[in-house]
Structure formats: structure tokens, C-alpha cells
Structure 1
Amino acid sequence: MLAILGLLTIVLLLVVVISKWMSPVSALILVPVFTALLAGSLERLPEFIAEGLVSIAPTGVMFVFAILFFGILLDAGTFKPIIRRLLNFAGNDPLKICIATAILAMLIHLDGSGAVTFLVVIPALKPIYDQLGMNRLTLASIVALSAGTMNILPWGGPTIRAATALQVNVTTLFNPILIPVLGGLVLVIGIAFLMGKKEKKLLLERGGCLNLTKLDEKESISPEERPGLFWINLILIVVAIGSLISGIAPPFVIFMIAFALALTINYPKLSDQKVRIDMHAKEAMLMASILFAAGCFTGILKGTGMMEAMAEAVQDLIHPQVGQQLPLLTGILSMPASLIFDPDSYYFGILPLLSETAAAFGASGIEVGQASIMGQMTTGFAVSPLTGSTFLLIGLCGVDLAEHQLKTIPWAFLVTLTILFLSVVIGVISV
């Protein structure tokens, strides 16, 4: 009975979220409450919800302050000098422009927001692509691959969701796959090189290229872009990320302190601080509300025993050899899964079941989570029709969704498989 109710919970979540009958926040709360009542767990329902919220609180706090931290640094113009230097480095060489596009998108996506990345990078580079006669699909593809791979970072939405669903620390999930992810980022730059080489060849075949005027690195420097603040902000980023990866303190502590320092240093006036916080509060609180609602969802499913019952039922249906390879199979299918499942439905509905099932066969549930973030709404998020960011990207670039998917999906799948392969080689994903 519990297994059937658990399956009903996941199916209802998928239906109401994908069909947009409910917001993810409402669905994550109301659907499990409804099925818990059917299971006769009314008296212990508050206890289950409380346990779920307690387990998720550190991750939710970390995400809020990480968004605020990188948002403040972006507002302060920390990346503008880097953008100017990258564009001057690129000049009028399509190959260098493509490489600069990849690096720029990776840097801007440090804040974990696809929308911000696209709004900053596309308007800055589209005029250059147009002047040189370069294909806008190349711009869309490189930005999508760069932002998608960077979305695996510990404060990225998919990784946060995976850690929330599995009730583990984000560093536990991310740190073991750091080297494979770096390998994926190198591959993205390599892909940008190949695309740039092709664009350069086509440009030369059309009779050369235009001479673009280089940017004046000294012009329009705002007070927030003073060299002293630039280096201080850069040091803050390096120290925060280094501390996170080294594990010297819990992630939420690191980003709370980093945010407070960044805000105080860049905006000493209280009135300015309020404005900056208000600018990013909406995005931070929206995701935080989803995370806490997910704590309610997983708390109820585990507390009532639905998750364990479903895992036992699935265990009877799957061959042991297949069950033991669930992490590997999850990794292979993770990127294509972005075209079928939105992030909330997958990470809060499908991932916990996969993890419990893998554990029942002696495989690692954590590895299933790590395999998931190698593609599900990471490398695949900017080609998925289930996210608004994809339509923002193609809208800014002025390209067709089908053409963008046709060009980008094979490369995105290759990046995911490369990260998965490197993870297998170093022993993070067992085979």
C-alpha cells in the first residue's frame, strides 16, 4: 500500500508541475500532505515535515547567501574589467571570439543564474558576431554549453536540489567530481575552439573580416570598478570557493561571511546595501522556498516509509546487475532527461527513488546524485524546452529552438559523457 501511495505521490508531482496546474512550491507541499493523509499519518505529519526542514535548512541558507554574494559582486562591476580584456583579446578573430565567449559565460555564471548569464553575455557579444558575419547559433551554443557545465557548481540549482533530495551536504556531492567537471569545462573551451575555427574558415572564404575597434579599457570606469575593489572582490571569490572545496567550514557559514564582507566593502552606505539586497532577494527567496518545500516533500516520503516501500518494490522488478549499475545508467541518461523532466520533478520526485533503489542493490545513492548533476538540467538546461532560460537564450540570440537544439544537444551530450567517463576513471562512479 505504501509503495502505491509513494508512486502516486511522484506521479501527481510530475503531472501538476509539468502541466503547470500548480507552482512547484505548492505541489511539493500539498501533494505529499494529501498522500500522507491517505496513508493515515495525520498525527505524525508535523514531525515528518519538521525533520525534512531541519535536514534542508543548511542547504537553503547556503543558497540564499551564495546568490546574494555573487549578485553583489556582479552589481559592483567585478567582472566588467575581465569582459573588456576578453573582448580586446578576441579582437576580430572568430576563433578567439569563440574562446572568449566560453570563458566569459563561465565567469558570469559563477552566480548560478542562467538568466543573468544570458542577459550579460549575449548583448555584449551579439553585435560582434553580427559585424563579423558569424553564425548566431554558434554564440547560443557556446554560451549554453559553458553555462550548463558551470551549473554543476555547488551553488547551482541542480546540485542544490540533488543535495536537498538526498539530504546530504553539497560538498559531499560535488567535491569528488571536481576534477571531472574541470575536464568538462576544458572540453567546452575545446568545442568553442573548433566552432571558432569553422567560423574563421567560413569568414575567410567569404573574403576576409571587418576590423573592429578595440575597447578603451580606461573609459567608463564606475567607482565600484576601482582596481583596489576589483582585486579585493577577486580575492573574496577565490577564498570563498577555495574554502568551500576544502571543507574548512560548512558552506552556509562560508557564504554568510563572504556575503557580509562583499556587501560592506562594495556598498558602505546602508541605503545602498538595502537596494542591492532587494535587487536579488526575489531570486534568492524563490529558490529557497522551493528548497524548503522540497524538505517537506522528502521528509514526508521518508517518514511515512513510502520511499523505502517503493525502493523495495522496484528492487523486485530490476535485475541485480542492472540495479548495481544505476549510477552509470543515470549518468548516461542524465542529459537527455533534461528534455523530459523539469528540475523540480526530477530531483525531488525521481532522484530519491533512484537513490534508494541503487542502495538496495548495494550501489551508492550518492553516486546516483552525482551522476544526475552531470547532465540533468546542467549541460542540458539551456536546450530544454521546460525552462524559461532556454527561451531567453534563443530570444536574445534571435535563433530557432529546433536549430539551437540540433547544434547544441550532441555537444552537450558529449560533455556529460566526458564528465561521466572521467568520474569512472578516478573511481567516483563505480562500475
Structure 2
Amino acid sequence: MLTILGFAMIACFLTLIMMKKMSPIASLVLIPAVFCVIAGKGAHLGDYVIDGIADLAPTAAMLMFAIIFFGIMIDVGLFDPIVRGILKFCKADPLRIVIGTAVLAAIVSLDGDGSTTFMITVSAMLPLYRKLKMSLVVLTGVAATANGVMNTLPWGGPTARAATALKLDASDIFVPMIPALAMGLLFVFVLAYFLGLKERRRLGTLTLDEVLEPEPETVLVGAGGGEDRTKKGTGGAGSGTDADGSEEDRSSVILDPNRPTLRPRLYWVNAAMVVALLTLLIMEVLPIPVLFLLGAALALTVNFPHVAQQKERIAAHSDNIINVSGMVFAAAVFTGVLTGTGMVDEMAKTVVGAIPDSMGPHMALITGILSIPFTYLMSNDGFYFGVVPILAEAGAHHGVDPVEIARASLVGQPLHMSSPLVPAVYVLVGLAKVEFGDHTRFTVKWAVLTSLVVLGAGLLFGIV
């Protein structure tokens, strides 16, 4: 019964948000609450929600202060040279811009944190997409899929979880998977090429001067305000037009060389802060939320020493802070109910129990296939600590090495990064002002295909 309710709850949630019948926040809260009552455990709903919030509160705090930190770096002009460099390389060509998105997301993903990757990638690329009237779901889809492949780095999370769950060395899992993951990343670049080619055919190209020149009706003074120019010829599904047009002004800010928030004399100081923060993140010197909290406070103090300026900068980014943090706490209701009621455990047992004994010798292949939907429908913790050990035990009875199960379990990560249970995806769609349903409809098919390419390469190279 719990298995049926679990799958029904997830299906109901995905259907409603993709059909835009409910907002993601409302869906994440109301649907699990209803299903919790249907499961006969409504009296424990409060406990489940509090447990979920306790688990995700550090993530919400991390996202809140990360948005402030990187928002300040955008305000002071740290990423302006990057954008202008990409512009010169891309020559205002949609094809090159989409490829540049994939390359940038892959490079920044080396820090192992999805939220950081999406903040930097969207901050750098969004002005180009806005200026050229490109479809924003291409930006979010390519960035999420590239990050999903790179998320398999040993310090990214999934590999460490698989190693811990099966008591293996992370290098034994990851290093042999490098050729397969490289094929997956190559596929993302090929995908970016064809998506960019489609955008080029739809939009044509502009000159570099046309892209760099601020439009006269834009209010280039900081986040928020201004007229909505995205309604004029913006094409593509999920273009992310906002009613008040504030996102267009926000994205245009990074290209305005005269905005008052620029701090050119502090450029290398700010660059050093970013490098130091990313280095500390990789070294895991302190918990990520603490690092971003300290980083945000330092960035505010160094660049805007007056209290009034600091309040203004925080207010400028308040929309993103509230939207993203609110989404994380709403997701806590969903994950809390899914875990607290036992739905996740029953779903895993049912699916694993349905595998016939004759398929035992092929358990690694089965694990790779199951990792695609499972890492989308549940958290990495739930999959790697709840499902993978069961699959490994079943495979061991048929002579399948647990390390092969661990490698195969990484296959679904390209799709996992677009899961509604991953807080970082709300940073991505929130900053790009893309509806989550639009992002899901566009990205899922390409992310699944990328996962299958990784799995196929793993089989071809004899890794899985």
C-alpha cells in the first residue's frame, strides 16, 4: 500500500507542476500532506515535516548566503570580464553561447557543489540569453545535465555515498568510470551543439556591439525595477518572462560598465575571496553553510562598508533568497513525508524484489538502469544508503562485485540534478526565472539520454 501511495504521490506532484496546475511550493507542501493523511499517518505529519526541515535547514542556509555572496560578486563586476570574454569567443552566436554554457558549467562543477555551479553559470550566461532572446530552458537544461555528469566527482557526493554504503574506496569506484563519464560529458557538448544550432536557425546572430550596448529603456542601477523588454520577441518555451520585468534588468546589469555597485579597485580582492572560498569548499575545512555565511558577511563588509549599502544589497537579492529558501523548506515537507511514512523503503523493496533471480548475473546493468528513475524520485541519501546495498547484496549472490554495482549506481546523476528533491535545481530555475515545469519537460529527455550514454559506454569499456 505504501509503495502505491509513494509512486502515486510523486506522479501526482510531477503531473501538476508540469501542467502548471499548481506552483512547485504549493505542490511540495499540499500533495504530501494529503497523501500522509491517506496513508493513515496524518497524526505524525508534524513530526515528519520537522524532521525534513531539520535535514534541509543547513542546505537552505547555505543557499541563502551563497546567493548573497555570489550576488555581491555580480554587483561589483567580478564576472563582467568573463561575460565579455565569452561574448568575444561566442561572437554573439547562439550556437557558441550554448556550447559555452556547457563548457562553463562543466568547469565550474569541479568545485563539487551544484548550487555554486548554477549561480556562476547563470550569472555569466543569462545576460547573453536575454540579449539574444534565446530560450532559457536551453540554459537551464544544458547547465543541469553538464553538472549532473560532473557531480560524480569523488568530492561531489554520490561517489562518496556509494563508497560509504558499500565500504569501498572512492577511487576504486570513480577512476575506472572516467572513460564512461567522459563520453557522457562529450555527449552533453554534442547536445549543446545541436541545441545551439537550433537556436541559431531560429534567431540568427547579432553583432558584438548590439549585444554589449545597453538598451535605452533599461534601468541599469541594480536588481529589480524597470520595464519588461522580454515580451518583445522573446521566443522559446520556458523563456522565463516575469511579470514586472525585473529579471531582464537584473541580467542586463552585468553588462553595464557604469553601474554604481562596481568596485574595480577591489577586483583582485574579490577574486581572491572566491578562489579562497571554493578552495575551502573542496578541502571541507568547515561545513558549506558556515563557509558561505562567513563569505557573505566578508563580501558585504569589504565591498559595502556602510550599513545602508549592505541593507540595499541584501534587499536587491531578497527575491531570489526568499524563492529558493522557501522552495527548500517546502521540499522538506515532501521528503519528510516520503521518508517518515516509510514510502521510500517500501518502494525500494518492491522494485528490487520484482527482479527475477535469473537476472542476478546482470545486477550491475539493472542497477545502472534503476539509478536513472530512482535518483530522480528520491534523494541521493535514500538511494545510496537504502537501495544500493540491497542491489549489491543481490548481485553478490550471483558473483557480481560490489564495486561494479557502485559504479553503475552513478549512471543516473545527469537526471538527478533536475530532480524536484535537489535544492540546487531551484537555484538554477530561480535565477534564470524559468518555470520548474518547463525546465522538467525540456530537460528530462536529454538527461535520461545522457545517462544511457554513460551506461552504454560503461558496458562498452567493460567498466560495468
Q: Could you tell me which residue of structure 2 aligns to residue 130 of structure 1?
A: none
Residue of structure 1 equivalent to 2:74 = 74
Instruction: Report the residue type matching 1:59 in the other structure.
Output: T
Distance 1:31 1:230, change over 3 A: same
Equivalent position to 1:149, from 141, 146, 149:
146
Alignment partner, residue 112 of structure 1: 118
Residue 11 of structure 1 is matched in structure 2 by 11
Cα separation, partners in 2 of 1:286 and 1:153, compared to 1, 3 Å: farther
CA contact (8 A) 1:331 1:420 kept: no
1:83 equivalent in alignment to 2:83: yes
1:248 Cα deviation from its structure 2 partner: 1.7
In structure 2, the residue matched to 1:245 is: 282
Say if 1:411 and 1:31 are closer, same or farther in 2 by CA, change over 3 A.
closer
- For 1:332 and 1:46, the matched residues in 2 are separated by 31
Q: CA contact under 8 A between 2:76 and 2:263: conserved in structure 1?
A: no
Q: Distance in 2 between matches of 1:91 and 1:223?
A: 28
Q: Which moved more, 1:187-196 or 1:312-321?
A: 187-196
Q: Deviations over 1:386-406 (max 9, x none)?
A: x989x989xxxxxxx9xxx8x
Tell me how far apart the structure 2 counterparts of residues 33 and 210 of structure 1 sit (CA, whole Å).
50
* Correspondent of 1:257 among 289, 294, 304: 294
Instruction: Trace 1:348-387 onto structure 2 (pairs within 5 A).
Output: 356-362=386-392, 370-376=410-416
Aligned to 1:206: none
- The unaligned stretches of length 5 or more in structure 1 are 128-135, 169-173, 198-208, 338-342, 380-386, 394-400
Q: Distance in 1 between matches of 2:392 and 2:298?
A: 45
Equivalence map 1:170-189=2 (5 Å): none
Contact 2:62/2:292, CA 8 A, preserved across alignment: yes
Question: For 1:107-161, what per-residue CA distance to the aligned partner results, in whole angstroms no more than 9, with x for missing partners?
Answer: 899562586555312356x49xxxxxxxx89x9979963564247788xxxx99x
Cα distance in 2 between the residues matched to 1:213 and 1:40:
63
Question: For 1:324-351, what per-residue CA distance to the aligned partner results, in whole angstroms no more than 9, with x for missing partners?
Answer: 54542256679xx9xxxxx8xx457x99
Structure 1 window deviating more from structure 2 (96-105 vs 370-379): it is 96-105
The alpha-carbon distance between structure 1 residues 307 and 196, as it changes in their structure 2 partners (threshold 3 A), is closer
Amino acid at match of 2:331: A
Q: SS at the partner of 1:44? A: helix
Are residues 1:312 and 2:312 paired? no
1:213-224 equivalences under 5 Å are 220=257, 224=261
| Residue in 2 that maps onto 1:122 | 129
Alignment of 1:211-360 (within 5 A): 220=257, 224-319=261-356, 321=360, 324-330=364-370, 346=377, 356-360=386-390
- Deviation of residue 69 (structure 1)? 1.6
TM-score (ref. length: structure 1) = 0.62
Distance 1:388 1:236, change over 3 A: closer
Q: Measure the CA separation in 1 of the matches of 2:34 and 2:95.
A: 56
Identity of matched residues, %: 29
Task: Kindly indicate whether the alpha-carbon contact (under 8 Å) linking 1:29 and 1:297 is maintained by their aligned counterparts in 2.
Answer: yes
Mapped to 2, the partners of 1:212 and 1:7 lie a distance apart of: 50
Q: Cα offset for 1:253?
A: 0.9
- Deviation string 1:22-60 (CA, Å, 9 cap, x unpaired) is 222222222222222233323333222211111111112
Equivalent position of 1:340 in the other structure: none
Change (3 A) 1:230 1:100: farther
CA contact under 8 A between 2:98 and 2:195: conserved in structure 1?
yes
Q: How does 1:164-203 map to 2 (within 5 A)?
A: none
- Partner-residue secondary structure (3-state), 1:21: coil
8 A Cα contact 1:355 1:366, kept in partner: no
Letter paired with 2:142:
L
One-letter code aligned to 1:373: Q
Q: 2 CA distance for matches of 1:62 and 1:13?
A: 26
Structure 1 residues 146 and 27: alpha-carbon distance in aligned structure 2, compared to 1, 3 A threshold: closer
CA displacement at 1:356 relative to structure 2? 4.3
Q: Counterpart of 1:51 in structure 2: which amino acid?
A: D
* CA separation of 1:236 and 1:56: change in aligned 2, threshold 3 A: same
Partner of 2:27: 27
Q: Is the 8 Å Cα contact of residues 330 and 368 (structure 1) preserved in structure 2?
A: no
1:292 to 1:88, Cα distance in 2 relative to 1, 3 A: closer
Unaligned runs of 5+ in 2: 109-114, 165-169, 198-204, 214-255, 394-401, 420-427
Return the alpha-carbon distance in structure 2 between the equivalents of residues 93 and 16 of structure 1.
36
Q: How many residues align?
A: 371
- Letter of the 2:126 counterpart: L
In the alignment, the residues of structure 1 paired with residue 321 and residue 82 of structure 2 have an alpha-carbon distance, to the nearest angstrom, of: 26
1:336-384 Cα shifts (integer Å, max 9, x gaps): x9xxxxx8xx457x995798444432379997885433135659xxxxx
My pick for the range that moved more, 99-108 or 56-65, is: 99-108
CA distances 1:179-228 after superposition (whole Å, capped 9, x unpaired): 7878866776688799999xxxxxxxxxxx99978999xx9465654544
Shift of 1:284: 2.4
Match of 2:60 in 1: 60
1:237 and 1:221 map into 2 onto residues whose CA distance is 23
Q: Which moved more, 1:23-32 or 1:254-263?
A: 23-32
For residues 270 and 240 of structure 1, do their structure 2 counterparts lie closer, same or farther at Cα, with a shift above 3 Å needed?
A: same
Aligned to 2:43, the other structure's residue is in SS state coil
Shift of 1:426: 12
* Alpha-carbon distance in 1 for matches of 2:311, 2:447: 39
Q: How many angstroms does 1:308 deviate by?
A: 1.9
Which deviates more from structure 2 when the two are superposed, residues 47-56 or residues 270-279? 270-279
SS in 1 for 2:301: helix
- SS where residue 414 of structure 2 aligns? coil
Contact kept in structure 2, 1:351 and 1:369, CA below 8 Å: no
CA distance, structure 2, for counterparts of residue 410 and residue 5 of structure 1: 25
- Considering only aligned residues, what root-mean-square deviation do their CA atoms show, in Å? 5.6
Distance 1:231 1:351 in 2: 38
Distance 1:181 1:257 in 2: 34
SS of aligned partner of 2:305:
coil
Decide whether aligned partners of structure 1 residues 235 and 39 sit closer, same or farther in structure 2, where only a CA change above 3 A counts: same
